[in-house]
Amino acid sequence: MFLSVYYLAALVLILTVHEAAHAWMANRLGDPTAAREGRLSLNPIRHLDLLGTLMLFVAGIGWGKPVPVNPRNFKKPARDEALTALAGPVANFLMAILAAIPLSYSPDFGFWGLLQVFSNAIMELSLVLFFFNMLPIPPLDGSKFMLAFIPFRYRASYHAFLRRSMPYFIVFVVVDLYIFGRMWGGSIIWTVVSTATFWLKTAILLLI
């Protein structure tokens, strides 16, 4: 229970920063849609998604409320939409680096020990969200980042596919967790993400 409270608090913070980073980048690149809807904020209530929160407890994988983006407001739509998608995972990666500092240098007793626990939760979950969101699977950020590499004549079709992708994504996650997981003894997604998280966390702590 003690650890779960810290991880839950860390997750709320990480999701909030992740979605706010999307809104900030979109606004910076010329699209004020998210800012007008109050998403340029560090208030967690503005960013938590009901379905994403429920999936977190049911399937172990969740997400925040998608940030609204209008590509027509961008000067270079494909590039700027890709950068907006990238902003969330990059924000999580930077949070992991910042969390590594108290985790590496603070003593492990009293208040500082609690700070270490919280910092560890932030670092681990930040890296998990970074790798998970960068998977090129719609509607994750990685699939939107791929827009920068999609030929112009296919972008309209790709956008349409992204808009319809949520049901397919949920089916894929359920199949991965409950069918592949039983067939091969573990989720493919979780195996890839957790392995990458372990090695990157180790590398960051060695370098900090």
pLDDT-derived band at 95, boundaries 50, 70, 90: very high
- CB within 8 Å of 62: residues ≥ 6 apart: 11, 15, 49, 52, 53, 54, 55, 56
pLDDT-derived band at 110 (thresholds 50, 70, 90) equals confident
Tokens of 157: 């079709």
Contacts 24+ apart (CB under 8 A), 172-178: 172/137, 173/55, 173/59, 173/61, 174/59, 177/59, 177/60, 177/61
Alpha carbon of 97 to those of 4, 40, 58, 94, 123: distances in Å? 22, 23, 29, 5, 7
Active-site position among 19, 37, 81, 124: 19
For the segment 25-41, the average pLDDT, to the nearest whole number, is: 94
Rounded to two decimals, the pTM is 0.86
Residue closest to 15 by CA, chosen among 55, 68, 64: 64
Known active-site residue 19:
yes
Asked whether residue 176 carries a pLDDT value surpassing 60, the answer given is yes
The rounded distance, in Å, linking the Cα atoms of 44 and 52 is 13
36-45, 57-66, 82-91, 144-153: which has the highest mean pLDDT?
82-91
What would the two tokens of residue 86 be? 């990238």
Give pLDDT, residue 109.
Answer: 74
Rounded to the nearest integer, the mean pLDDT of the chain is: 87
Q: Which two tokens mark 107?
A: 């003593």
Amino acid at 153: R
How confident is the model at residue 57, as a pLDDT? 60
Q: Quickly state the pLDDT bin for 26 (edges 50, 70, 90).
A: very high
pLDDT for 56 beyond 80: no
